[in-house]
Chain A
């Protein structure tokens, strides 16, 4: 007779049934003496949920989002385990995931799902004060003498997932006609037309006297409690969520950018990361973008509309940590320019940038399966398409 008692406390009782008695039926061999012995053996086996990896077992189960958490059910005592044992893991919150991989062609997020092994590995993407990690255990513990039913119990551990401190600043410009030799002191004021522009581009975002299309400035600092193994790193990563670019020439032919797309999966812009990797010790990371299209001789009209997601990606310190996005900047710009006599002029332009605050302040991991750089050049548009 076997019983598992969860959380028995300092003392506990197990009732044996039947109690210590035995009967002997005298049937065919009444001359044989019979003896019976009833004994009861009680073993207290402590089962624990051991958390390892970046954590110090037995102290506080705190970790940064993106740090690897390993959990394993362990036993004090000589408890034999078998291939038939089942461990059903669960976590209460914290947006758990098993992996995130990213390169110039693909970004893939792998959410965590309950496993059935004695140990499990997980990352949390969302900060939380009270994540419960538990394993429901079913041990097929067969007593060699008596046989026994499965032993079932649950072990728990509490985890707190912490996000780093961060700051973000976005300075947005607006579309304008640009000279190849443009210098800051010669910026055309809003609305001024130009005779020989060489590009239609995003411009005028001034950051500390330096003009560009758009500036992203961020800082990330890992709290002191977690930076023993270094401070970790972070980067900017940009996706193009839609783009539409075209021009018309003097023969009234329309040419579209091959990269145009308005729906479907976003495409990575440039590289992963977008520019550089920065230390998560408060050092600032500055990225910039100046999207534009050339204006060549023979062009009569040109339009651009681009939409982007710029992510702030964090890689915490610790062995085998994984990327988690901290913030997403949703930004877009649009400009339309028309050639007149003798000057080109901007006929329409709009722009905006918003730092998204989604649940818990953190966005979902972005995924992509393509790179915008795979679509160079222009294609003559079918005359059936009316612009």
Chain B
């Protein structure tokens, strides 16, 4: 195996990446290799999809399938080898269908079929042992010796960034948002990466183009969420349990939460959000359910302890899942969509009876715990509505700086930096946050500046789109560029969604972003240097040093 896609990857002086029996996430070498093979097959699909489009063949079912299957290879999504093989078999079937459609269209139009790279026609072996043997040649660090570490690093920056974009495409698709042009660009990038490109300029441009594509995808997802569930409104959310039977809904998929709320209504079950599902409380479509009682737990890395103590069933709608056997709740956790864990019941279709029955069979919470609240829901509309008041306070000198402190959480000890930073920013600063990194400080009291809360939870990771809209509005109001605003982005990353959001911000020209707790393992020091030179991208250092540098530069 070779996998270097998450922040947790093994790092040694000899090189970065999990390349032995298991990944640091618990993914076995078998699953990792099968995922490499799936990526190879998805690239084969894209090679044919790209060629087919040139003769007018567009197969939207296939367009919608490929990002979904690609999503299964993100960190902490699918650990089930049988499911990965099934995704690969379906990908091969779709590739064959596209190939047939393509060749028929060429024949009808009198066009000579293109000679595609050999990867386009890879035949999936029948036996898993042969798949694993084949998969060795698809390792993502192949050709390292020939092309060098920088090229491999850029290839991975593109591939991992595209994985993040694919995940958001799938989230948007669930909400009815698809776009043929977006799908075309996705295929272009996958097909390009299938050729093992080694031109650093072309790869760098590809990374920026993926970032711009993701901006459009986040916009689609924003549309899907607001059209389906309304515009989020600032909402106080109880972070403590209340007495009664319980279901916990984790991941990012609001559509699943809606189905669960509908199916549990009147059943005597309280529904809780977990992790990235917390911002759901701010949407009108969910606020109307009185049995959506609060949020339970914190960020994904604490789930083994928190889920073990949860006296009900748990539904994992998307990333991040980690080994449920450690906390021995494998029998009462259920996976959805692209998520998988060997032996865990997977819910296909829209019937959540299995999870509901499991919740009813459990004792639930015996008592109410003292309530403790956080506020969420400062998404696009709420921010835009607040913008005039915010601008007034900036002009009056009462708000001097904005910090966006957010991103993925993780279990590295140095992530206390983000808590310490949030505590240390001056009182005349506003803190915007998003994604599960917020759990590092969203239980703290930050107060307000003349009625404007100092702590604004924008939402999920994809709601970076809302934060960008606020930045653009402020830049417009002050007649300056976004980089001229007293706005500092201090991001935490763990996996590929964070990578693509970073690419989006860089592609939009946003400079001087700080990232931590460490640089992605696939970026060489040279590549980090280039990103620093071109975008002022920096790694976090100490709170004192960074805060001093940020405020002096402002």
Partners in one complex: no
Report which A residues bind B (CB closer than 8 A): none
